[in-house]
Amino acid sequence: MAARGNANNKKSQAGQLRIVAGNWRGRLLVVADLPGLRPTSERIRETLFNWLAPRINGAKCLDLCAGTGALGIEAMSRGAASAVFVENSPVAVKTLTANLASLGSAGTEVLHIDARTFLRGGHELTFDVVFLDPPFAADMLSELCRLLSARDWLSADARIYLELDRKQPEPDLPPAWQVLKNKTAGRVRYMLATAEA
């Protein structure tokens, strides 16, 4: 999150999130004041969506441990067909719901539920792009990846984004997954994997 600056500063301000590109480019959204809530930086979002550019238009997205919803909202701004946001914090859910309403977004759904509980549930959905950015302290990336794979949440050749503290070991990925991109920025490691067998 960028430090507070003057009114002409185009970067996100403390307590705000700026959409980087697409239909809602430049829109500022409210960030809930919650301990440990850290929206994915603009720099990382820009890189990630450059990676996803050939696939994001018309994609069905899942933003697990959504927090601010920065990744799913950015995807919708850039032409994704739909996004499901899964978040356990009632404060984050309320703020995210209000932000989506302010954008007039269609094709979005916010679910107030733990990500692991959601993934263990029954469903008829599959997703083309999944964003996994849980709280760093939670140490649940490996389990989320396993559940995504084991419960058939992913469409053929889906893309999965993972974000973690660069000091943490890389998560154990399901055998059929392959890491396509692996970068660091500051204290963050971020990766893009494919579920292609």
Name the percent of the chain lying above pLDDT 90: 70
Average of pLDDT values for 61-90?
Answer: 96
Q: Reply yes or no on domain 36-194 having CATH 3.40.50.300.
A: no
What per-residue confidence (pLDDT) applies to 7?
Answer: 35
For tokens 């399901």, the residue is 174
For tokens 């697409």, the residue is 22
Would you say 87 and 111 are in contact if contact means Cβ atoms under 8 Å apart? yes
Band (35; pLDDT cuts 50, 70, 90): confident
List beta partners, residue 82.
60
Instruction: State how far the Cα of 167 lies from the Cα of 188, in Å rounded to an integer.
Output: 8
What per-residue confidence (pLDDT) applies to 162?
Answer: 96
Weakest mean pLDDT among 65-69, 106-110, 133-137: 133-137
Burial track 61-80 (b if 16+ CB lie within 10 A, e otherwise): bbbbbbbbbbbbbbbbbbeb
Q: Where are the beta strands (DSSP E) in 15-153?
A: 16-18, 28-30, 60-64, 82-87, 108-112, 127-132
Q: What is the 3-state secondary structure (H, E, C) of 39-56?
A: CCCHHHHHHHHHHHHHHH
Q: Do the strands 127-132 and 82-87 form a parallel or antiparallel pair, or are they unpaired?
A: unpaired
State which H helix or E strand residue 90 sits in. Answer: helix 90-103
Q: What proportions of the chain, in percent to the nearest 5, are helix, strand and coil?
A: 30, 30, 45
Identify the CA nearest to 164 among candidates 147, 187, 130.
Answer: 187
Would you say 24 and 77 are in contact if contact means Cβ atoms under 8 Å apart? yes
Res 32 pLDDT > 70: yes
Res 1 pLDDT > 70: no
Tens digits of residue pLDDT in 164-185: 999 988 889 999 899 999 999 9
Tens digits of residue pLDDT in 116-149: 999 998 778 899 999 999 987 778 999 999 999 9
What per-residue confidence (pLDDT) applies to 47?
Answer: 95
